[in-house]
Amino acid sequence: MRAVKFKIAGYDSEDDTAGQQVDIVALGIVTAAIILFVATGSEIGPAVVRSLRGQGPGPDSFMLDAFLLNIAIIIFGWSRYRQLCEEIVLRKAAENAARRLAETDPLTGFLNRRSFNTGIDALIARCTDQRPNHGADRNRVAALMMIDLDNFKQVNDHNGHSVGDLLLCECARRISTALPRGAIVGRIGGDEFAVALPFDRQHPEFVTHIAKVLVAAIGESVQINAVNITVSASIGLSRSDLGGDSPGGRVSSLFEMADIAMYHSKRQGRNGFSWFEPHMADEMRFRSELESGIRQGIPRGEFVPFYEQQVDLQTGELIGFEMLARWDSPQFGIVAPDIFIPVAEDIGAIAELSQSVIAQALEDARAWDPRLTLAVNISPIQLRDPWFAQKLLRMLVEANFPPQRLEVEITESCLHQNLAQVRSLITSLKNQGIRVSLDDFGTGYSSIGQLRELPFDRIKIDRSFVSSLVDDEDSAAIVRAVTTLGQGLHLPITAEGIETQDVLDHLRQYGEITGQGYLYGRPRPAGELGEWLDAGHHPETEAPVEPQNPLLPKTRLG
Ligand code: C2E
Ligand code: MG
Ligand code: MG
């Protein structure tokens, strides 16, 4: 790995000058000794020659002693001088190494956060310094790019940290290859890089182009230890002419804006870049309100289970309920899971949230007819927990709830994770008597091979196909194909999203399948299930009603 070279002004330390002074003193002593040697030598030399020829007395013994002493001083001084030179070279090398360690990231050779901050501050200062003859171009401004790898954590978890390190080095190499001269680059977090570069304020497309190249370069797969690995990058861009003016504030506001734009890229589906725009800050504030609301809401019991009926389509008999979590937020009202589940996943609160609603659902379901089943949804993130099956079993034991009545729904997107891990989890759940179904089938491109390989107990056809099957031939063909597949693999089928009698009539031709949807009523909280539980079966004509509570508009999260 080629460590990226960088240079920041103001690094020459005073110690080096001190070293050079010592060095000059030693050389001075040697030089003085040499001058003395020449002077005394010129005195004694002719006297020695004269005495050897028998033409006069020998040299003065004092002068001779001084001469010999001079030779000793020269030898001693010279060797000391050499020693000092070597010491200085060694000390300089050690100082450079220590400084490199303190200022750069040892893995990639990029600047670390602290020195990147110094670098970008100097860059902005150079761009904004408008003093005459200072050489600054009035149109130059600094751009900051925050580059975050999208799925780096999974790579680390699945392949180990050494592979993660090699991947980071490869990304660093690709980043430095794509950057123009004058750019400074830092690794400012585990999987976060930052780039700062000057550009002409009239031509931001210069920066946009570099961001595009970086997304493409990082997104290309890499072979590490015979494993093909693909990560992508989300990039946020900000420019110094839009940030704060105070020298201390300008770097932090530049970072904040790039950070907000980077999160925007993530929400836009990752693997892309965005320039900061002011509306993103509102989204960000809303997002952080959601995050803190979720964190506080879990212990306060604000997350509650709602229930949707699951029905035998032939007889109309109620066979169980699917639990769907809702957030009864004091600030936002009733919030749908599509809004809060992804946020809870991102902030690492999903397991706690899920545990809280499942515990309440087990409690509720104990009061129902014991023939009724309870289905719960599980996030892909929970599947990565090797103790998940044990934790669920413990909850069942604590609630005194028979595992045979519980069905765990796993979405198809989970199958893109480590398949061996998913298989072992499904197997341990099944060993405990819990059934496992594949939710939202048809949306996640799982292969038929995977379906055969994983011991699911049920397939749930995604509501997007079911609700449109009367009007859309393709949807009808997909529903037919999935029911045929289910019969072939001996897997019971559930159709989600039955909204009309026409859809129900159509589905009935497939024989023994179960279904759920707004035709049977909207999901309700436990306290409002009375009439459904009393009836046990339902008229197929319960009209769809509008949701009782306002859900958050989904557009607010982008
Ligand atoms: P899902 O498991 O596929 O749940 C069915 C979703 O379809 C529910 O949306 C339900 O209200 C909606 N639905 C039911 N019948 C109809 C219909 O006839 N027409 C239409 N258009 N929609 C119908 P909801 O409650 O908003 O849940 C959305 C998703 O959030 C769920 O999809 C599930 O994947 C997830 N989710 C819900 N609760 C939890 C939970 O506790 N944990 C996790 N990890 N995910 C949950
Ligand atoms: Mg579900
Ligand atoms: Mg579903």
Distance (angstroms) between ligand 2 centre and the Cα of 462 equals: 9
- Split at pLDDT 50, 70, 90, the class of 442 is confident
pLDDT of residue 22: 57
225-241 burial, b for 16+ CB within 10 Å, e for fewer? eeeebebbbbbbbbbbe
Q: Which residues pair with 335 in a beta bridge?
A: 327
Regarding the beta carbon of 59 and ligand 1, being less than 6 Å apart is answered: no
Region 167-179 average pLDDT: 97
Compute the chain's Rg from CA coordinates: 37
Q: Could you read off the pLDDT of 485-522 as tens digits, one per residue?
A: 999 999 999 999 999 999 999 999 998 899 999 999 99
What pLDDT was estimated at residue 2? 40
Res. 164: pLDDT tops 50: yes
* Phi-psi category of residue 316: left, alpha or beta, with phi > 0 → left and psi -120 to 50 → alpha: left
pLDDT value of position 419: 80
- Would you place residue 243 in the very low, low, confident or very high pLDDT band (cuts 50, 70, 90)? low
Tokens of 555: 């557009």
Q: Give the number of the ligand closest to the Cα of residue 462.
A: 3
Burial call 332-348: b when 16+ CB within 10 Å, e when fewer: bebbbbebbbebbbbee
User: For residue 229, what are the β-bridge partners?
Assistant: 222
* Beta carbons of 236 and 274 less than 8 angstroms apart: yes
Residue 463 near ligand 1, beta carbon < 6 Å: yes
Residue 65 burial (CB count, 10 A): 12
Opening angle at CA 376, ends 373 and 378, nearest 5:
155
- 522-548: average pLDDT: 70
Q: Is the CB of 381 under 6 A from ligand 1?
A: no
Atom of ligand 1 nearest to the CA of 323: 38
Q: Supply the residue whose CA is at minimum distance from atom 9 of ligand 1.
A: 324
**402-411 burial: b if 16+ Cβ within 10 Å, else e:** ebebbbbbbb
How many angstroms separate the CA atoms of 356 and 68, rounded? 94
Taking the C-alpha atoms of residue 479 and residue 473, their distance in angstroms, rounded to an integer, is 10
- Ligand approaching nearest to the C-alpha of 497: 1
**What does the alpha-carbon distance between residue 373 and residue 308 come to, in Å, rounded to a whole number?**
12
State yes or no: pLDDT of 11 exceeds 80.
Answer: no
Tell me the backbone φ, ψ of residue 430, rounded to 5 degrees: -65, -35
- The angle subtended at Cα 194 by Cα 190 and Cα 200, nearest 5°, is 170
Both structure tokens of 10? 């103001």
Give the residue, by CA position, lying nearest to ligand 1 atom 8. Answer: 324
Three-state DSSP state, 133: coil
Percent of the chain at pLDDT > 90 equals 61
Q: What pLDDT is recorded for position 537?
A: 52
Q: Is 338 in the pocket of ligand 1 (CB under 6 A)?
A: yes
Neighbours of 73 (CB within 10 A): 17
pLDDT at 15 > cutoff 70:
no
Ligand 3 center from residue 462 Cα (angstroms): 6
Residue 8 reports pLDDT greater than 80: no
Q: What is the DSSP string of 159-184?
A: H-HHHHHHHHHHHHHHHHHHPPTT-E
Residue 204 φ/ψ, nearest 5 degrees: -65, -15
Convert the pLDDT of each residue in 98-157 to its tens digit: 888 889 999 999 999 999 999 999 998 888 765 655 555 678 999 999 999 998 988 988
Residue 326 Cβ contacting ligand 1 at under 6 Å: no
Question: From ligand 1's centre to the CA of 222, what distance in Å?
Answer: 37
Distances in whole angstroms, Cα of residue 460 to Cα of each of 323, 344, 516: 15, 24, 10
Question: What is the pLDDT confidence band of residue 552, given thresholds at 50, 70 and 90?
Answer: very low
For the stretch 55-71, pLDDT in tens is 888 888 888 888 888 88
| The pLDDT of residue 3 is above 50 | no
For residue 95, give Cα distances in angstroms to 5, 90, 130, 484, 510. Answer: 17, 9, 36, 73, 78
What is the distance between the alpha carbons of residues 409 and 382, in angstroms, rounded to a whole number?
Answer: 12
Residue closest via CA to ligand 1's atom 33 equals: 377
Ligand 1 atom nearest 345 alpha carbon: 44
Contact 356, 325 (CB under 8 A): no
Predicted pLDDT of residue 550: 37
C-alpha–C-alpha distance, residues 112 and 103, integer Å: 6
CA 56 to chain centre: 94
| For ligand 1, atom 19: residue with the closest CA | 497
Atom of ligand 1 nearest to the CA of 378: 44
Q: Is the pLDDT of residue 13 over 90?
A: no
Average pLDDT over residues 199-221: 97
Residue 308 CA to ligand 2 centre (angstroms) = 10
Q: Is 324 in the pocket of ligand 1 (CB under 6 A)?
A: yes
pLDDT at 246: 55
User: What's residue 121's pLDDT?
Assistant: 92
Pairing of strands 458-461, 303-312: unpaired
pLDDT at 536: 64
pLDDT above 70 (res 17): no
N- to C-terminal Cα distance for the chain? 39
| Beta pairing partners, 324 | 306
Q: Is 496 helix (H, G, I), strand (E, B) or coil?
A: coil
Residue 531 Cβ inside 6 Å of ligand 1? The answer reads no
Atom of ligand 1 nearest to the CA of 523: 11
537, 319 contact by CB (below 8 A): no
Ion ligand 2: residue ranges with CB closer than 5 A: 377, 409, 439
Instruction: Give residue 80's region: left, alpha or beta (phi > 0; psi -120 to 50).
Output: alpha
Enter the tokens of residue 159: 């392949």
Q: How far is CA 284 from the centre of its chain?
A: 17
The backbone torsions φ and ψ at residue 138, rounded to the nearest 5 degrees and listed phi first, read -60, -25
Closest residue CA from atom 46 of ligand 1? 377
Of 512 and 416, more confident: 512
pTM: 0.67
Instruction: For a ligand 1 pocket test, name from 377, 384, 470, 502 the mutation site with the most ligand atoms within 8 angstroms of its C-beta.
Output: 377
Q: What is the pLDDT of residue 451?
A: 81
pLDDT at 221 over 60: yes
**CA of 526: how far to CAs of 299, 318, 361, 531, 550, in Å?**
20, 16, 8, 11, 19
Confidence of residue 191 (pLDDT cuts 50, 70, 90): very high
Ligand 1: does its nearest atom lie under 6 Å from the Cβ of 329? no
In the structure, what pLDDT confidence band is assigned to residue 555 with cuts at 50, 70 and 90? Answer: very low
**H-helix or E-strand spanning residue 410:** strand 406-411
| Distance from the alpha carbon of residue 496 to the mean position of ligand 3, in angstroms | 6
How far apart, in whole angstroms, are the C-alpha atoms of residue 538 and residue 516?
A: 12
Q: For 454, phi and psi rounded to 5 degrees? A: -100, 130
DSSP 202: T
Please tell me the residue having the least CA distance from ligand 1 atom 21: 497
Report how far apart, in Å, the C-alpha atoms of 352 and of each of 241, 291, 297, 510 are. 43, 14, 11, 39
Ligand 1 mean position to 324 CA, how many Å? 6
Token readout for 337 is: 């899971």
172-176: long-range contacts, CB 8 A cutoff, minimum separation 24: 172/1, 172/4, 172/107, 172/108, 172/109, 172/110, 173/1, 173/2, 174/214, 174/217, 174/218, 174/220, 175/147, 175/214, 175/217, 175/218, 176/2, 176/4, 176/110
Q: Alpha carbon 45 to chain centroid distance? A: 82
- Decide whether any atom of ligand 1 lies within 6 Å of the 497 Cβ: yes
Q: How big is the CA angle at 21 (ends 15 and 25), to the nearest 5 degrees?
A: 150
> What is the Å distance from ligand 1's center to 515 Cα?
14
Q: Which of 309, 324, 339 to mutate to test the pocket of ligand 1 (most atoms within 8 A of CB)?
A: 324
Please tell me the predicted confidence (pLDDT) of residue 547: 43
Q: Which position has the token pair 């990147």?
A: 116
Q: Is the CB of 337 under 6 A from ligand 1?
A: yes
pLDDT, tens only, 276-333: 999 998 888 898 899 999 999 999 999 999 999 999 999 999 999 999 999 999 999 9
Six token digits for residue 172: 């660093």
Mean pLDDT of the chain: 87
Q: What is the pLDDT of residue 503?
A: 97
Instruction: Give the pLDDT band (50/70/90) at residue 50.
Output: confident
CA 523–ligand 1 middle distance (angstroms): 9
